[in-house]
Amino acid sequence: DLRGALDQANYCILCHAQGKDSCSHGLLEKTPKDGPPLVGKAAFKRTVFGVIQTGCPLSEKISEFHSLKAGGYPLAALAMITVDNPMAAATGHRICNDCMKSCIYQKQEPVNIPEIETRTIKDVLALPYGFEIYSLLTRWNPLNLRRPYPRAHTGYRVLVTGMGPAGYTLAHQLLNDGHTVVGIDGLKIEPLPEHLSGVRADGSRIPFAPVAAVDDLFDALDQRILAGFGGVAEYGITVRWDKNFLKVVRLLLERRPEFSLFGGVRFGGTLGVEDAFRLGFDHIALALGAGRPTVLDIPNGLARGVRTASDFLMGLQLTGAAKADSLANLQLRLPVVVIGGGLTGIDTATESLAYYPVQVEKFTQRYEQLCAERGAD
């Protein structure tokens, strides 16, 4: 909430003024007096668990936007965020916390930076035409001294394979560099309404209507239709994160005339390398993700009742099995043992506990309905 975000922003000591903003640039080891300077991973400190404290992967100006947010300038704070992280709607709370691990508060509770970031975005989106303001900042940003507005068209055409977090972020940067971008994904991507995206079913462009209230873009999460855009953010991350933000990110790209999006295209199958170059692309960017799950090389590793966590989450998210009116045949029986304690493992454990009662309710409802129609015998 806003109060919590402001509390955390004021908790930050704004150490960018002293050049100590380790949340942005990482916690560095002391340079040895004798010997060469440390480079690469060796230059960063590690936690007691061996995690490298590199700070924000984007080197986002965290302390600077905290100062603006705490001072009551939410729009300026978002402008500062989008300099390094234009796709900030898809980061932040419950997505990433590398910045927190490198916070200067190492012996007490770190600043909840992702919460402040997400709250800043929500505050701007909640303004009248807030989405349009955010969209403008991703293209025209006076705080971005290197590239305040998109560069002139270069004539280069780039094929981005995979529309997950890496793919759509790369597509945005390429568009701002003046290139034409085509994004493809193996999943079926549902079309957005023409008045929102400005794209007809045949790919032709029409004027789009500005979004006055961002709530018009959002759906109830338990009724939301899986659109296919977002890669692992769509089918891997559970409802711990508001997936309505994927529509926000998608509109930032799809409204731009230099961008085209195609779903149901598998790179290496439907479209190959030679095919892409034959179609006139100058470059192919691979943003295909991890792909295969981790399979244990043990006897009966995939016996009946054993599933990889990523496969379970994909089956749950893509089929909409958790919806009351879904006919998906994803069956789950308790007790469940989850091997691994990473984010995927935690998501699997929590989703199993949440899905099981829904599954029981669906079984009960269908049993009672069939009994009423045909009798219990």
| pLDDT tens by residue, 12-38 | 999 999 999 999 999 998 887 777 777
What is the C-alpha to C-alpha distance for residues 25 and 19, in angstroms, rounded to an integer? 10
Residue with tokens 């007790």: 335
What is the C-alpha to C-alpha distance for residues 62 and 103, in angstroms, rounded to an integer? 10
Q: Which residues of the chain have pLDDT under 50?
A: none
pTM higher than the cut 0.85:
yes
Q: What is the model's pLDDT at position 113?
A: 97
What is the C-alpha to C-alpha distance for residues 96 and 85, in angstroms, rounded to an integer? 13
Q: What is the model's pLDDT at position 30?
A: 85
Q: How many helices (H) and strands (E) does the chain have?
A: 14, 4
What is the C-alpha to C-alpha distance for residues 235 and 290, in angstroms, rounded to an integer? 13
Cβ-contact 245, 95 below 8 angstroms = no
Distances (CA, A) of 334 to 309, 317, 357: 15, 19, 11
Residue with tokens 């969209």: 135
The CATH-assigned architecture of domain 2-139 is Orthogonal Bundle (1.10)
Q: Checking phi first, is residue 91 left (phi over 0); if not, alpha (psi -120 to 50) or beta?
A: beta
Q: What is the model's pLDDT at position 372?
A: 92
Q: What is the model's pLDDT at position 291?
A: 63
Q: What is the model's pLDDT at position 221?
A: 82
Residues 6+ apart with CB under 8 A from 242: 218, 221
What is the C-alpha to C-alpha distance for residues 153 and 85, in angstroms, rounded to an integer? 22
Residues 6+ apart with CB under 8 A from 141: 79, 82, 83, 148, 149
Q: What is the model's pLDDT at position 253?
A: 98
Q: What is the CATH number of domain 157-286?
A: 3.50.50.60
What is the C-alpha to C-alpha distance for residues 239 and 260, in angstroms, rounded to an integer? 28
